[in-house]
Structure 1
Amino acid sequence: MAIEGLSLAPSTLVFIVLGLTLAAFMWGRFRYDLVALAALLGSVMLGLVPADEAFLGYGHPAVITVAAVLVLSRGFERSGLVDIIANQVLKVGERLVLQLLALVGTVVVLSGVMNNVGALALLLPVAMRLAREHNTSPSLLLMPLAFGSLLGGLTTLIGTPPNIIISSYRSDVSDATFSMFSFTPVGIVVALTGLAFIVLVGWRLTPKRSGQASAADMFDTANYLVELKVHDESKAKGLTLQQLRDELDETIPVLAVVRDDNRQAGYAFHGMLQAGDILLLEAGPDELKLLEDKAGLSAVAEFESDDEEAESEAPPEDDSEHDAHPPVDTEGLQLVEVVVRSDSMMINRSVRQLRLNHQFGLHLVAVARDGTRLKQRLRDIRFQTGDVLLLQGEEGEIAESLAPLGCLPLASRDLNLGQPRKLLLSLLIFAAAIVAMLLDLLPAAVALSTAALVSLLIGVLPLREGYQAIDGPVIVLLGAMIPVGEALETSGGADLIAEALLYWGDDWPVVLTMTGLFILSMLLSNVVNNAAAALLMAPIAVSLANGFDVSLDPFLMVVAVSASCAFLTPIGHQSNTLVLGPGGYRFGDYWKLGLPLSIVVLVVSMPMILWVWPLSG
C-alpha cells in the first residue's frame, strides 16, 4: 500500500527513489546490496511495487542463472584448471608483450565460459608469479588482466550478469530470449579488438608502480601496517626509537608506540622501549625480516589481541592458552601474501571477529590497502575487497585455510586453492548444459542449475564451497533491483526518459541516439554494479526502440555491451576492485587506460551491433 498523503505521480516517485539509490551507490557508505534492498522496500511502501510481488525477483531466471554460473565457476577453480593454465602461461618468457598476450588472451577466453570474476581469480596468482620471476611491476599486468576479464564476458550469455539480464528482459517483452552464443558475433570482435589495443598500446598507459619483484623475495606491492612487540630478550629493549634506527641503519617510520593500551605518536615518543611495548609501523617483507633479525622484534599474535573479545563471547576452551602469551614460534611456519576476494567472508569483519589464529590456524602479520596509510591497530581493521595481507601459518596447511576465507595467494603459485580432481568430468557436465541450451531442450536457468547440482552431487565441488561460491550481495542486488527496474517501466518513467531523448534527437539519425544510450549506460556502470546498470537501462532501451518503431534487439545489445564496460573506476566492477591492492593502483589510475579503451569499444561495437542486429529487425 502506498504511503497516504503523497500526491506525486508514480513516475516522479520512481525518479526520486532511483536518484537516492544512485547517490547511495556512488557514496559507498553502505554496501550495494543493502542499498538495493532499501530501494525495493521503499518502492513497496510508496506503492510502486505491489507488496505481494516484492520478492518475486529472487525467483527470476536471471538470478537463478547467475547463481548457477557462480557455482560452476568455483568448480572450475577446484578442478585443476588453474594449474594447467598456469603451466602454459608461465612458458611465455620475458617479453612483456607476450606475457600480456598470454594472460589477457587467456582471461578473455575463460570469461566467456565462466564468471569473469572467477576467471580473473584463476589468473591473478599466475600474473603475480610472472611479475616476480621476471622482475616486472605487477601494475603493468593486473589492470590489463582485469579489463580483459570484462571484455571476455561480452562473448557469451553466461560471461557476465548483464548478458543474462538482457536475455531475460527480452523474453519478458517479446517472448524470445537471446541464446548462449547470440552475443558472440559482436562480443568476439569487441573482445579481440580490445585485446589487441591493450597488448600493443594500452599497457603503456598503466602506471608503473615502484617496488619490483625478485625470484627470491615475495613481491612487495605496498608498505604494510605492521605491529611488532618488544620482548625481554629483544635487542630493541632499552633503546630509543632513534637509537633503534641507528642500530638498523634504516629509516623505518614508526607511526606509534603502544604501552599498556596507551598509544603515543612515534614522532612524540622519546623514551626507551620496554618489554611489552608494541610498535605500530609501516614496513614491507624485507623490513620485517630486518626488524626480526637485528632488533629481536616479533609480530603480535592474534591471541594477544583478541582475548578480550573472545572471552566476552564464550568461555575459553583452554585457560592455559589465555593465561600465557608466548611469542610466535616461526619454525615450520610459512609466510604468504594474499589478496581479499570480493566474495570473502573477511569483508567488513576484523581479525578479532574472525579469530584467524584459533579457527583457521593463521596469524595476521600485516595489512596493506590502496597504498594509503592505515591508522588503526591491526586488531581493529575491518577488511575490504582488494586488501593485501601477509599471513603466517603451518606449511602445507595454509591453502586449506585460504579457500574458506576467500583469499587468493599472490606470492606463491605453489599454493592450490583446492584439490585438482575430476577436471574432465566437470567440463563434460558444463558442455552437456551448453548443448541443452543450444538445442532449446532446457532454458538457461534450468540447464545451468542442473549442471551445478550434478557437480555438487558427484563431488566436483563440496556442498559447503558451493554455497560459498554464490555471491550473496550480488544475488540480493539482482533480486531487489529487478522489481525496481520493472517499476521504472510500469510507472511510465522509462517512457518519459525515452520521450526526452526522442525529443532532443528528433532530427538525428537513430544511431546517434543509440550512441548516447551506450555512453549513458557505460558511465552508469562505472559508479554502480553492472547488473544494476543493465536493469535500469533495459526499460529505457525498449522505450526508445518503440519510440523509433525499430527492432528492440540492437538497443538491448547496446545496453548489454555498455553495461559490462566499466573501465573508468575501481568500483564499477569487482574485477577492477580485486586488482586495486595487488597492483598498487590509485582511484585515478583506471581512466588513463580505461577511457581510450572505452572509446575503442564504442567505435567498434556500434557498427557491429547494427550489422548483426539491424534496426529493421
Structure 2
Amino acid sequence: MTGDQIVLFALFGVLFAFLVWGRVRYDLVAFTALLIAVFAGYVAPYDAFGGFGHPAVVIIALVLIVSRGLVNSGAVELIARFVVAPDRALPTHISIMAVAGAALSAVINNVAALALLMTLDMDVARKAKRAVSLTLMPLSFATILGGMITLIGTPPNIVIAQYRQDALGEAFSMFDFTPVGLVVSFVGILFVALIGWRLIPKRDGTQLLEDDAGLYVAEARVKEESKTIGQMVRDLYPEAVEKDVQILGLVRRGKRLPGFSRTQEVRKGDFLILEGDPKSIEAFMGAAELDFAGSEKHGGLRGNNLTLIEAIVPDGARIVNRSEMDVRLLSRHGVTLLGVSREGKRFRERVRRLTIKPGDVLLLLGPDDRMDQVSSWLGVYPIADRKTDVIQRRKAFAAIAAFAIAIALAVMGVTTLAIGLGACVVAYIAMGLLGGEDFYAMIEWKVIVLLASLIPLSAALEASGGTQLIADGIVGGTQGWPAWAILLVLMVVTMTLSDFLNNVATALIAAPIGVSVAQSIGASPDPFLMGVAVAASCAFLTPIGHKNNTIIMGPGGYQFGDYWRMGLALEVIVIAVAVPSILVFWPL
C-alpha cells in the first residue's frame, strides 16, 4: 500500500465515520473531504468542481423537477385515484398500494412516489381504524424496489449508468435495468404483501396534517361541462365523504339557498359551499370538476403555477373589519380568498363578502411567486409548512406526452437523457406546471452536493490504485470461488454499506470496485455493475439507509429497530433472486 493510498483510505474512513454518525450534514462532510483532498494535492483544483457538471448530477436534479411537474399536472393522481379503498382486506390493500408504488417509482423518482401515496395510505388507515405502521413500511419498501426497474427510478441506477460511460465508453440505457429490476421487484413485493407486513409491530403513527389545523368554509364554482351539472347536491355526498369534505349548501345568482340544498339540482355557474381542510377541498374540486372564484383571471387552471396558502389574520392587518371585495384582492392582485376558518364556526355569508376578524385563518389561492408579496400587503402571516399545490388536472395528458417524448428521444439515441429531461422541464414551465420556485425547491441540494463532491474523490481513489487494492482483497479472499459467489459477496458488502451510508455514496464507491473485481477474474463488468446497482438501492435494515425509510419514520411511529424485522428477510430474498437474474440477463 502506497503513501497516497494510505492517506486517501484514511480520508474515506473519516468521511464514512461522519456519514454514519449523522450529526453533521452529509453534504457538508463530503464537501469538506473534497477540499482536504484538493489542498493535499490528490484532486487538481480545476477538477474539484467538475462533479457539479457530471451527467449523473444533472439527471438526478432534472428527474426531481420532472417528478414535481407530473404531480402538479394530476398525471400521478389519475393512477392514485384507483388504488385506495378503506374497505379492502389489509393484504389486498398492501398488494395494490405496493404495485402502484413500484410502478410510479419506475417512471418518477421513488421519493416523489412515496410522498404522494403515503398521504393516501395514511388517510385509508385512519378511515379503516388500523395502525398506519402496518402499511407505511411495505409502501416505502415497494417504492424502493420499483425504483430499480428503470434508469431514472433511483439515483444509484443513474450513478452506475454514468460510471459505465466513463469506464467502458457506453452508459446503460433507460431499460437495461428493467429485466433484473422487474424480477426482484415482483418477488420482493410478493413477500412484503403476503408475509413481510406481519412482521411489523403495530405502532401509533402521527398524521401529516395536524388535527387542530382547522376546517375552512370555501366556495367552489360549477364550471362549464362539469359532471356535477344536472345532479342533485345529495348525489355528490359519496364523493365528498371520500374526500373528507362536507357540502354545506349552494349559491345561485349571488344568493345562498336555504338549508343544505340537498334536493337542489346543480347548474352551471352555481357555487357549492364546502367545509374541509385545504388538501381535501382541492381534491374534491378536482374529482367533482369544480373551479374557484376568479379562475378566469388565470385562464382557469391553465395559466399559472397556482398554490394554496393558509395565513393567520393578526389585529391591525389591512383586511381586518373588511371583506375580500372591499380590498379588491382578486382584481388588484389576482389572488382569490378561497376559504375562511373561524374557530370551527360556520357562517352563511358569501366568503368574498365576509367581514374578516382578527384570529381568522384565510385560505388564499394564487400564483406561487406572488403569495409572499400579497400576504405582506394584506398584513397576514402565512403558516409555515401549510402550503398546498393546486393540481392542474387538465394538463395531465399533455404532461404525460411531454415526458414520454423526452424518454423516447433518449431511448432512440436522438439526444441524451439529460437533454431530453431538460426539454421536458422547459415544456412544463411553458405549460405553467412549474414555477421559478419549483425549479429550485424540488432539487435535493444536499444529495447534489454530496454526489458532486464524491465524484472527484472517487476518481482520486481509483487513480491511486486504491479501488484495485480493495478489489484484489475481495478476489484474494474468495480465491477459487466461482464468479457468481464473488458477485454475491460484492452485493452483500455493497448492501451492508447502503444500510448505513447514503445510497448515492455507496454506488459511487462500489461501482469502480465492481469493475476492478470483474477485470481481475476475467469476467464481464456488466453483471457486477448491475449487482452494485441493485445492492446500493436495497437499504431495508435502518431508517437512514434510504430517504424513503426516513420519511415514514415519524408518520408511522417506527423505532430504529423496527426496520430489520421485515428488512433483513427482504434483503436476503433480494440477494437470492438478484444473483441468478443477473446471470441470466447479463452473463459473466
Equivalent in 117, 123, 127 of residue 117 of structure 2: 123
Is 1:142 the counterpart of 2:136 in the alignment? yes
Is 1:457 the counterpart of 2:430 in the alignment? yes
SS at structure 1 position matched to 2:203: coil
Is 1:31 the counterpart of 2:4 in the alignment? no
Match for residue 474 of structure 1?
447
Match for residue 487 of structure 1?
460
Match for residue 243 of structure 2?
none
Match for residue 111 of structure 1?
105
Change beyond 3 A, Cα 1:510–1:405: farther
Q: Partners in 2 of 1:512 and 1:96 — Cα distance?
A: 38
Higher alpha-carbon deviation: 415-424 or 565-574 = 415-424
Change beyond 3 A, Cα 1:536–1:405: farther
- Is contact 1:502-1:544 (8 Å) kept? yes
Is 1:422 the counterpart of 2:395 in the alignment? yes
Q: CA deviation at 1:445?
A: 1.4
Q: Partners in 2 of 1:175 and 1:181 — Cα distance?
A: 18
SS at structure 2 position matched to 1:394: strand
Change beyond 3 A, Cα 1:602–1:176: same
In structure 2, the gaps of 5 or more residues are 214-313, 318-339, 346-358, 373-381
Change beyond 3 A, Cα 1:222–1:459: closer
Equivalent in 78, 82, 90 of residue 84 of structure 2: 90
Amino acid across the alignment from 1:140: L
Match for residue 610 of structure 1?
583
Is 1:394 the counterpart of 2:394 in the alignment? no
Is 1:182 the counterpart of 2:172 in the alignment? no
- Is contact 1:333-1:394 (8 Å) kept? no
Q: Partners in 2 of 1:98 and 1:76 — Cα distance?
A: 27
Is 1:63 the counterpart of 2:57 in the alignment? yes
- Is contact 1:334-1:393 (8 Å) kept? no
Map 1:286-325 to 2 at 5 A: none
Map 1:543-582 to 2 at 5 A: 543-582=516-555
Match for residue 171 of structure 1?
165
- Is contact 1:160-1:564 (8 Å) kept? yes
Q: CA deviation at 1:203?
A: 0.4
Q: CA deviation at 1:418?
A: 3.9
Q: Partners in 2 of 1:140 and 1:605 — Cα distance?
A: 26
Q: Deviations over 1:506-550 (max 9, x none)?
A: 121122111111011111111111111000111111110110111
Q: CA deviation at 1:85?
A: 3.1
Is 1:534 the counterpart of 2:528 in the alignment? no
Q: Partners in 1 of 2:86 and 2:132 — Cα distance?
A: 16
Map 1:82-481 to 2 at 5 A: 82-91=76-85, 93-210=87-204, 331-332=341-342, 393-395=361-363, 418-481=391-454
In structure 1, the gaps of 5 or more residues are 1-6, 212-218, 227-317, 322-329, 336-362, 364-391, 410-414
Amino acid across the alignment from 1:532: A
Q: CA deviation at 1:407?
A: 5.3
Q: Partners in 2 of 1:190 and 1:519 — Cα distance?
A: 15
Change beyond 3 A, Cα 1:571–1:492: same
Q: CA deviation at 1:504?
A: 1.3
Q: Deviations over 1:324-367 (max 9, x none)?
A: xxxxxx953679xxxxxxxxxxxxxxxxxxxxxxxxxxx9xxxx
Q: Deviations over 1:160-210 (max 9, x none)?
A: 011011110101111111110000000000001111000000000111114
The two structures have a TM-score, normalised by structure 1, of 0.68
Q: CA deviation at 1:405?
A: 9.2
Q: Partners in 2 of 1:398 and 1:570 — Cα distance?
A: 37
Equivalent in 475, 479, 489 of residue 516 of structure 1: 489
Q: CA deviation at 1:220?
A: 5.9
Q: Partners in 1 of 2:9 and 2:461 — Cα distance?
A: 8
Cα RMSD, aligned residues only: 3.1
Counting matched residue pairs gives 445
Change beyond 3 A, Cα 1:14–1:470: same
Q: CA deviation at 1:459?
A: 1.6
Match for residue 377 of structure 1?
none
Amino acid across the alignment from 1:138: V
Change beyond 3 A, Cα 1:92–1:137: closer
Q: CA deviation at 1:90?
A: 2.0
Equivalent in 450, 466, 477 of residue 504 of structure 1: 477
Q: Partners in 1 of 2:344 and 2:48 — Cα distance?
A: 50
- Is contact 2:75-2:400 (8 Å) kept? no
Q: CA deviation at 1:609?
A: 0.4
What is the aligned-residue identity percentage? 43
SS at structure 1 position matched to 2:449: helix
Q: Deviations over 1:304-330 (max 9, x none)?
A: xxxxxxxxxxxxxx9968xxxxxxxx9
Match for residue 349 of structure 1?
none
The two structures have a TM-score, normalised by structure 2, of 0.71
Q: CA deviation at 1:454?
A: 1.9
Q: Partners in 2 of 1:535 and 1:86 — Cα distance?
A: 34
- Is contact 2:75-2:399 (8 Å) kept? no
Q: CA deviation at 1:48?
A: 1.4
Q: Partners in 2 of 1:536 and 1:545 — Cα distance?
A: 15
Q: Deviations over 1:233-266 (max 9, x none)?
A: xxxxxxxxxxxxxxxxxxxxxxxxxxxxxxxxxx
Change beyond 3 A, Cα 1:509–1:482: same
Q: CA deviation at 1:12?
A: 1.1
Q: CA deviation at 1:394?
A: 3.4
Match for residue 21 of structure 1?
15
SS at structure 1 position matched to 2:34: helix
Q: Partners in 2 of 1:581 and 1:205 — Cα distance?
A: 19
- Is contact 1:221-1:583 (8 Å) kept? no
